[in-house]
Structure 1
Amino acid sequence: MTSGTIRAGMGGWTFEPWEGTFYPEKLPKKKQLEFASRQVPTIEVNGTYYSTFKPSVYEGWARETPDDFVFSVKAIRYSTNRRVLAEAGESVTRFLESGPAALGEKLGPIVWQFAPTKKFDPEDFEAFLKLLPEKQDGFPLRHVLEVRHGTFAVPEFVALARKYRAAICYAHHHDYPEFADVTADFVYARLQKGEDSVPTAYTPKHLDRWAERAKEWAAGGQPDDLPLADPDSKPEKKPRDVFVYIIHEGKLRAPQGAMAFMERVGKA
Structure 2
Amino acid sequence: MAEARIGISGWRYRPWRGVFYPKGLRQADELAYAAERVTSIELNGSFYSLQRPASWQRWRDATPEGFVFAVKGPRFITHIKRLGDIDAPLANFFASGVLELGAKLGPILWQLPPTLPFDGDLLDAFLGRLPRSRADAAAVASRHDERMSGRSSFSVAADAPLRHAVEVRHPSFESGDWIALLERHGVASVTADTAGRYPRLDRTTADFAYARLHGEEELYASGYDDASLDRWAAWVVAHLDAGRDVYAYFDNDVKVRAPFDAMALIARLPRPGG
Which TM-score bucket, shorter chain as reference?
0.7 to 0.9
The 1:162–1:64 alpha-carbon spacing in structure 2 relative to 1, beyond 3 Å, is: same
Q: Is the 8 A contact 2:11 2:31 kept in 1?
A: yes
Q: Is the 8 A contact 2:194 2:216 kept in 1?
A: no
Q: Give the aligned partner of residue 94 of structure 1.
A: 92
Q: Does 1:201 align with 2:199?
A: no
Q: Is the 8 A contact 2:189 2:210 kept in 1?
A: yes
SS of residue paired to 1:115: coil
Q: Give the aligned partner of residue 180 of structure 1.
A: 202
Matching of residues 236-251 of structure 1 within 5 Å: 239-248=243-252, 251=255
Q: Does 1:191 align with 2:195?
A: no
1:144 alignment partner, one of 157, 165, 175: 165
1:118-140: CA deviations, max 9, x gaps? 00010111011111011224342
CA drift of 1:46 comes to 1.2
The 1:83–1:61 alpha-carbon spacing in structure 2 relative to 1, beyond 3 Å, is: closer
The 1:50–1:214 alpha-carbon spacing in structure 2 relative to 1, beyond 3 Å, is: same
SS of residue paired to 2:198: coil
RMSD of aligned C-alpha atoms?
1.7
Q: Give the aligned partner of residue 257 of structure 1.
A: 261
CA distance in 2, matches of 1:62, 1:23: 20
User: Larger deviation: 136-145 or 206-215?
Assistant: 136-145
CA distance in 2, matches of 1:255, 1:96: 28
CA drift of 1:195 comes to 6.9
Q: Give the aligned partner of residue 59 of structure 2.
A: 61
1:121 alignment partner, one of 119, 122, 125: 119
CA distance in 2, matches of 1:168, 1:251: 27
User: Larger deviation: 80-89 or 252-261?
Assistant: 80-89
Give aligned-pair identity as a percent.
39
Q: Give the aligned partner of residue 6 of structure 2.
A: 8
The 1:259–1:99 alpha-carbon spacing in structure 2 relative to 1, beyond 3 Å, is: same
SS of residue paired to 1:188: strand
1:169-228: CA deviations, max 9, x gaps? 1111121101111111111001112579xxx921011101110111001222xxxxxxxx
CA drift of 1:248 comes to 3.1
With the length of structure 1 as denominator, give the TM-score of the two structures.
Answer: 0.87
Matching of residues 31-110 of structure 1 within 5 Å: 31-82=29-80, 85-110=83-108
User: Larger deviation: 125-134 or 87-96?
Assistant: 87-96
With the length of structure 2 as denominator, give the TM-score of the two structures.
Answer: 0.85
Matched positions, count: 245
Structure 2 gaps of 5+ residues are: 139-158
Q: Is the 8 A contact 1:195 1:249 kept in 2?
A: no
Instruction: After the TM superposition, list the runs of 4 or more consecutive aligned residues in structure 1 that deviate by more than 4 angstroms.
Output: none
The 1:108–1:18 alpha-carbon spacing in structure 2 relative to 1, beyond 3 Å, is: same
Instruction: Letter of the 2:75 partner, please give it.
Output: R
Structure 1 gaps of 5+ residues are: 221-238
Q: Is the 8 A contact 1:218 1:240 kept in 2?
A: yes
CA drift of 1:250 comes to 5.7
Q: Does 1:131 align with 2:129?
A: yes
